[in-house]
Chain A
Amino acid sequence: MLRLAKKLGSEGAFYAAVITLVVFAAFPFYWMLITTFKADGDLYDLKSIPYWFNTAPTLEHIKYLFTETLFVQWLMNSALVGLCVVAITLIVALPAGYSLARMPGRSAETLGIGIFLTYLVPPTLLFLPLARVVTLLGLQDSLWSLIVIYPTFTIPFCTWLLMGFFKSVPREIEEAAIVDGCTVMGAFVKTVLPLSVPAVLTVVIFAFTLTMQEFVYALTFISSSEEKPVTLGVATDLIRGDIFYWGELMGAALIASVPVAIAYNLFLDRFISGITGGAVK
């Protein structure tokens, strides 16, 4: 009996700890959700309990966001930047990762680590000179500046990820294709790439989410509202002097976050094995 009580007690403590952790992690998102659908009168009322709707939920904020602001434009900007960066990343990182995986000797290892290390060079160190580079390229205040600059962090990370993957593809497969008359390039395109669909998919998702995460470069390079990606536009252009704007702001943050959050969750394990360099088997 005592043992049962003890077991129940420790189980209760366990669940309490799990719930505390989950609430700490997820409460801000719950708060986004509830703010999005709350009527203004309810939002800015100090008396009522804020955790739930005290008046009927409303779609006012969402409607305002889609009709009266540049939100849709920002979403499309982000999508365009994301797609172009993914394309550039694939074109550059696929051959690079393959070449590093097949290159004989230690030089490949060193080169691979060298490329991966550039992922550690933070935007904070480079945004000043890159602002100058962007101006020289005539891309200031245009979202094309982001399309050119973002691959500087997606390429190193994705090359590293792909290198790890290609190493696991047996060399014999391409060798057979080469014996059958393929060129080295042809063997890569016809035999290795079709086997790499899961890895390519991972790279697509990560390159895309990494561009969605970025803030510093966008903040530095872009000042006109129409050119901003969603993460920057929402954070800088929706905040205005008046405080009664939180419904729209949280709605925008929520809508832009959901797809990224889902994608991240689905590919989390691959991301981890990439970052720990396959230290965990």
Chain B
Amino acid sequence: MSSARIEAAHEDVPPGRPIRGKWIFRLASTLLVVVGALQLCKATGLISIGFANWRPTMFAFVLWGVALGASQVLKYGEIGKQTLFVLPALLFTAAMVIFPTIFGLYIAFTDWNLNAQSGHHFNGIDNLRTLWADAYFWNALGNMIFYVATVIVQYAIAFGLALLLNADIRARKFFRVAFLLPFMLSPVAVSWMIGKSLTENRFGPLANFARWLGWENPAFFTDPWIARTTIISMDSWIWIPFMVILLLAGLQALPLDVKEAAKVDGANWWQTFWEITFPLMLPVSVTAIVLRAIFELKLADLVINVTAGGPGGATDTISSFVYREYRDRSNVGYATMVAEVYLILIIIFITLLLKAVSRYMQKMT
């Protein structure tokens, strides 16, 4: 996979154009600053004229973005056109991520409660202290560690399924489609399908099956550890197809001659697997595990809709915990602080994880 770089064609830019570009950009920037400042003054109560909300500022920003693009082309010609490719995505992401993140940091240090009449005040690190003392937070964090640790188990199952699909079988397409289907389902639908109906104590098939196996009073969500296992089983059910697809692609890309040589040498299946297949599959395996872990850390919908974090917060994830903090207590300030702390923890974890496996992983950028 060679990098397919293109050298920009040299373009002689006529002298008038860069100046036009410069002025277009300056005009748009001025407009943005003026509209924004006007709105800011109105919002903080300094003056009373202005628009009803921040929308005009948003439009001014879009206009500024367009002007930026146009001025790049006018000023730099061909290079400007190249910049134009990446500009929309960059501006969009910057606007939708950077600003809310900064704003989120601000909220995290206030005591903002949407129900409170007195507005919001800066309250220093009070939120941090509350977080440190909040048993539910630590409990949710512990749950996340458990959930992410099970990714290894999910990986093992997915690998097994991928090996099965890679075997010499008929109707492979049918099995592949059938295996894929759970991944197409929304976690909300699965919450009802499995969480509320299949496991229902009185007439759910899973409960009946459990009774048949000898469990007298099957209750999948009352004991904390059983509840956690059930939740992670449901999430695995949805996401294992994701890993199966990645691993199967990796298996199908393996060179056949190495395995043939091993067979000729007399190796049995087990030896071939552990000494040839598995090591060759390490890059794909690591990629699949890291990706799955990233998505596992976001687990929220299932927990919110099946157990609402119960019993007693036993199945909570950080995301569902924050969701409840907001929904039930409108405690935006504290909830955002929890979310920001979680983000930092995730960044640390993923960075360490990537460093540890960077030897094996294929490049992701």
Q: Do A and B come from one complex?
A: no
A interface residues (Cβ-Cβ under 8 A, vs B): none
B interface residues (Cβ-Cβ under 8 A, vs A): none
